[in-house]
Amino acid sequence: MECIEKWGMYELSFAGRSEGNPYIDYYIKAEFSGDNEKIVVDGFYDGDGIYRIRFMPSYTGEYSYRVWGNCLDDEKEGSFLVTPVKSSSNHGPVRVIYENFLAYEDDLPYNSIGTTCYAWVHQPDELCDLTLDTLSKSSFNKIRFCIFPKFYKYNEKEPVTYPYVRKRSAEGDFDFTWFNPEHFRRLDYYIVELTKLGIEADLILMHPYDRWGFSEMSKECDELYLRYVTARYAAFRNVWWSMANEYDLMSKGDDRWNEYGRLVTASDPYHHMCSIHNCLRYFDYGSEWITHCSMQRTDLYSHVELTDKYIKMYNKPVVWDEISYEGNIDSGWGNISGQELVRRFWEVSLRGGYAGHGETYVHPDDILWWSHGGVLHGDSFLRFAFLKKILCETPGGYIKCGQGIFDEVVGIPYDEENEATWSTVKYCSYEIHYYGFGRPSFRDYNFPEDEEYRIDVIDTWNMTVTDMGIHHGHTRISLPGREYMAVRLVRI
Amino acid sequence: MECIEKWGMYELSFAGRSEGNPYIDYYIKAEFSGDNEKIVVDGFYDGDGIYRIRFMPSYTGEYSYRVWGNCLDDEKEGSFLVTPVKSSSNHGPVRVIYENFLAYEDDLPYNSIGTTCYAWVHQPDELCDLTLDTLSKSSFNKIRFCIFPKFYKYNEKEPVTYPYVRKRSAEGDFDFTWFNPEHFRRLDYYIVELTKLGIEADLILMHPYDRWGFSEMSKECDELYLRYVTARYAAFRNVWWSMANEYDLMSKGDDRWNEYGRLVTASDPYHHMCSIHNCLRYFDYGSEWITHCSMQRTDLYSHVELTDKYIKMYNKPVVWDEISYEGNIDSGWGNISGQELVRRFWEVSLRGGYAGHGETYVHPDDILWWSHGGVLHGDSFLRFAFLKKILCETPGGYIKCGQGIFDEVVGIPYDEENEATWSTVKYCSYEIHYYGFGRPSFRDYNFPEDEEYRIDVIDTWNMTVTDMGIHHGHTRISLPGREYMAVRLVRI
């Protein structure tokens, strides 16, 4: 019997009718049944007379399936075996846990270190391979990118493939009812490669940077597209849905976005992460189809420091997907220093949120990581493995912003039962105080005389942890008077 | 005939009765009359049986005076001549001009570069002299300090003198009705020294950092004190009144502050600058006795960037007296870098406000500039002369925050008539774009084809101005991709 790993992607394919427009005129569906779940999924047409059905099992054991549709002459049946997870990069899909945090389905905390390469999959193969190679050596575990090609400054080349075929000639308008399978097969390939690397694929379904008309299709064509991509990609465990990038630069309106969000979540039997990303105005993240806040800063000066406020306001995980990029282009959203971007990552992380990176260094051939991928040129990406390591050391797995003392950020472990303890007990069992652009040369602590604390000084930029020994009572800890330092207090 | 320079301090002194408590039991007043003004002032008792009357003439020509009071046996009369200004540091008192800006009374724009040394006048003479020496070599033209001594962290030594005498013994409680003339004579001396240096004395009348009871006197004693200091100091042209530092850490309440503010302005015939400085909550700067907003940042991350918002809100000049100090002490308000403080100065200045410096570097003898004066250890103070030079080059004298493009601060010259022009005309005759922590490696400009612009690149940290030539039409200007750069556009 055929075998597949739990949370793996199981694919069936069938030749079927293709007269007329097979993307509209025919459907194919399947029901998958195991001991613990029974799921109906839509298949999709992949060109050349072939229909495919993809399924992700969430349990082990034997599964059977039944396939039907008006593209087929008769129903198909079969069965396969789902084995326990073997590959180390497979922890299942990312889910919301404890309302505001993220974990893989196997309960491993997901400390998201995102990056953005909007149009990397639309670049020539060699560049895509180079991007994968860079990712494989990095600490990124999420990448945000667009299904539609991108037209924007520094992005004026044509994509390698288009998502639709042209109507009459190679120069004609695109037919928004006729997908180009080649475009989506490339995407399939790269999503699989990301899966192998253990990197979440945050798929941007729509965006405004367009000269081909993809951003302004009719509602019918939009819906056809959304059904197609959910049928095609929902069975990949690492997929997230981002309804749009900078939705508020598009003309669809909030009601339409809510309709589309509901369509996507209704079409996705696995309940992947789903959100919508803003430019100037946050969407109402309270909408029931939104799993997390996918945010871009809306102010030049005050943004990630509001992470804990937003978590409280929406009671959902906060994922900052755009907090300015490290680089040197002309725009303010793309020319901060590596130090400043790393500072923003630490602020976000210690306030209980998740941050995203991007790089926008001027390049002679306009190959900027933020859009095209390739190689990294900056200083910030080298510091994220260290941040991730520190976050992974959090007892219980989840760090939460505690009672802030005027001039410091306090991160303490998430504790569902004792949410109030940190406001009454001065020192919890584990705290990280991050000083950001502050440069204290010492800090005083008044520990209880009968409790002992191990103190580490963390240099978040130089990536060192210095053991300052075990202390009780009044304690003064020397610090180097540099920016980007943190102190970790652990009760023994 | 006796001569005095316009805006100089003219002092009369008389021996008078001193039985009982001369600070309460007697008064002395004088009327000064010239061709253009007639002013009645209060005198004050200066110990040793001597009463003094101080007057600042605002016009040239002959003045006569008449003195009376219950401390005197008979009225006194006399006259003196006021000559035109001779000393280069004398431009008269600072006034509000064009609602939101500051100028000396002779119409020279006052580009305030403040610093804070709260308790410098309460230090030993040698240290005070050192502070004056440091100030004389600096570009500061305002210093903020307290009349009452200060008790606070890093400030645990007793002051050289106390403002009051003790009741019975050298160890007894202070008598809040009996001033200590020695304390105020020292202050006289230092205010005169500041006058010579052309530095405004921003006198903090009350503050909460106290262990001697001066912050919690009765209303009657507070008022006695306020009348005493206004009688004593109003005639110095460089005096500003700061009703309090961190007023909201004191228990007097807003109504009381309004009463006290009105008392001070009613007692000051010269209408000196007058405000009140906050800790966590801004005072209602709309109060009629307040000439300008004397602000401390109330948020760690977003503050000086709101300068233009506050100017609009209160329609008064905004003076940021506390925006974190350069240093390395343990507190977040005292450990930012020189770069960050200079960045804040530029943000404030290009948004049409005025900023204040302070330095808090740990010192083996607890001599921190912010409180004690002495010498400067930081990097920021070296950059203010350059900022002042750039500000002085502003055509018309006053810079105003223009229509901000999303990621940049635009400063354009103040133009009472054409406030709307910069929202309709893309390029005014003079603009400075400051990029702060942004690091653009170029900027594009679309000048009209028939207008020519001179472009300077300003490195605000390294203090260089690079002439980039004269341009029209589409122009790309190279920038070094470093932080803290500005571009100046001047239409020819």
Whether A407 and B333 lie within 8 Å, measured CB to CB: yes
Give Cα separations from B47 to B13, B44, B180, B190 (angstroms). Answer: 12, 9, 8, 19
Query: Poorest-confidence range of A2-11, A115-124, A174-183, B405-414?
Result: B405-414
Reference B147, options B185, B111, B114, B93; nearest CA is B185
The DSSP-derived string for B167-207 is SSSTTS-EEEEEE-HHHHHHHHHHHHHHHHHT-EEEEEEE-
Q: Is the CB of A459 inside 8 Å of chain B's CB atoms?
A: no
Predicted confidence at residue A6, as pLDDT, reads: 98
Higher pLDDT, B351 or A51: A51
pLDDT band, residue B402 (cuts 50/70/90)? low
Query: Which three-class secondary structure state does DSSP give residue B260?
Result: helix
Asked if A367 has any chain B CB less than 8 Å from its own CB, the reply is: no
Q: How many CB atoms lie within 10 A of CB B342?
A: 26
For A408, the closest chain B residue by CA position comes to B332
Residue B287 neighbours by CB under 8 Å, 6+ apart:
B258, B261
The one-letter amino acid at A442: F
| Nearest of A210, A226, A207, A97 to residue A155 by alpha carbon | A210
A491 touches chain B (CB under 8 A): no
Residue A410: is its pLDDT beyond 70?
no
Can you tell me the distance from the alpha carbon of A300 to that of A332, in angstroms, rounded to the nearest whole number? 8
Question: Tell me, what's the pLDDT at B41?
Answer: 98
pLDDT of residue A23: 97
Q: According to the model, what pLDDT value does residue B299 have?
A: 83
Q: Rounded mean pLDDT of B213-229?
A: 98
Output the pLDDT for position B305: 86
% of residues, chain B, pLDDT over 90: 79
d(C-alpha A297, C-alpha A324), whole Å: 8
- A417 pLDDT more than 70: no
pLDDT at B84: 97
Measured CA to CA, the distance from residue A287 to residue A273 in angstroms comes to 13
- pLDDT tier at A378, thresholds 50, 70, 90: very high
For residue B216, give the 3-state DSSP assignment.
helix
Q: Is A446 helix (H, G, I), strand (E, B) or coil?
A: strand
- Nearest CA-CA distance, residue A437 and chain B, Å: 6
For residues A169 and A167, what is the distance between their CA atoms, to the nearest angstrom?
A: 6
Amino acid type, A83: T
CA distance A220 to chain B (A): 35
Q: For residue A418, what pLDDT is reported?
A: 28
B148-190 pLDDT, tens digit per residue, is 999 999 999 999 999 999 987 767 799 999 999 999 999 999 9
Reference A442, options A406, A481, A408, A483; nearest CA is: A481
CB contact, 8 Å: B440 with chain A?
yes
Q: What is the pLDDT of residue A423?
A: 26
Residue A403 above 70 pLDDT?
no
Of A335, A440, A441, the CB nearest to B438: A335
Q: Where are the beta strands (DSSP E) in A147-212?
A: 164-166, 174-179, 200-206
Q: CA dist A421 to A418, A447, B433, Å?
A: 5, 16, 48
Interface test with B, best of A328, A331, A366 (most B CBs within 10 A): A328
Q: Is the pLDDT of residue B423 over 60?
A: no
pLDDT at B450 over 50: yes
Contact with chain A for residue B340, Cβ under 8 A: yes
Closest to A439 (Cβ–Cβ): which among B300, B328, B444? B328
3-class DSSP assignment, residue A491: strand
pLDDT of residue A421: 24
Q: What is the DSSP string of B330-397?
A: SSGGG-B-HHHHHHHHHHHHHTT-EEEE-EE---TT---HHHH-----SSSGGGHHHHHHHHHTSTTS
Retrieve residue A349's tokens. Answer: 């992380």
Residues facing residue B201 across a β-bridge? B143, B239
Mean pLDDT (chain A, rounded): 92
Using a CB-CB distance cutoff of 8 angstroms, which residues of chain B are in contact with residue A483? 337
Mean pLDDT of A9-13: 98
B335 near A CB under 8 A: yes
pTM of the model: 0.93
A480 to chain B, any CB pair closer than 8 A? The answer is no
Do the Cβ atoms of B329 and B360 come closer than 8 Å? yes
Local confidence band at B106 (pLDDT 50, 70, 90 cut-offs): very high
Confirm or reject contact between B170 and chain A (CB < 8 A).
Answer: no
Rg (CA), chain A: 24
Report the candidate in B265, B135, B273, B99 with the shortest Cα–Cα distance to residue B202: B273
Buried/exposed B102-127: b ≥16 CB within 10 Å, e otherwise:
bbbbeeebbbbbbbbbbbbbbbeeeb
A333 touching chain B per CB within 8 A: yes
Residues of A in contact with B297 (CB under 8 A): none
Q: How confident is the model at residue B488 (pLDDT cuts 50, 70, 90)?
A: confident
Q: A98 or A385: which carries more pLDDT confidence? A: A385
To which residue do tokens 């490696």 refer? B441
b (16+ CB within 10 A) / e for A351-376: bbbbbbbbbbbbbeeebbbbbbbbeb
Distance CA B163, CA B147 (A): 8
Is there a contact between A439 and B337 if contact means CB atoms under 8 Å apart?
yes
Residue B372 and residue B153: Cα distance in Å, rounded?
12
- Average pLDDT for A51-70: 98
| Separation CA B355–CA A96 (nearest Å) | 46
Encode pLDDT of B460-479 as tens digits. Answer: 999 999 999 999 988 999 99
Is the pLDDT score of B21 beyond 90? yes
Q: What is the pLDDT of residues B318-334, one digit of tens each?
A: 999 999 999 999 888 99
pLDDT tens-digit readout, A259-302: 999 999 999 999 999 999 999 899 999 999 999 999 999 888 88
Q: How far apart are CA B359 and CA B372, in angstroms?
A: 10
Nearest to B438 among A302, A332, A439 (CB): A332
Q: How many CB pairs under 8 A join A and B?
A: 88
Return the DSSP state at A8. Answer: P
% of chain A with per-residue pLDDT over 90 = 80
> Over 90: is that where the pLDDT of A332 sits?
no
Is the pLDDT confidence value at A424 over 70? no
Per-residue pLDDT band at A193 (split at 50, 70, 90)? very high
- Check whether B413 has a pLDDT greater than 70: no
> Any idea which of A192-196, B226-230, B442-446 has the lowest mean pLDDT?
B442-446
Of A336, A439, A441, which has the smallest distance from its Cβ to B438's Cβ?
A336
* C-alpha atoms less than 13 angstroms from C-alpha of B468 in its C-beta half-sphere: 26
Tell which residue, A148, A130, A127, A118, has the closest CA to residue A365. A127
Most confident of A434-448, B24-38, B293-307: B24-38
CA–CA distance from A331 to each of A492, B132, B440, B441 (Å)? 48, 44, 7, 10
Identify the bridge partners of residue A41 per DSSP, sorted by sequence position.
Answer: A30
Minimal C-alpha gap between A457 and chain B (Å): 14
**Residue A402: pLDDT band by 50, 70, 90 thresholds?**
low
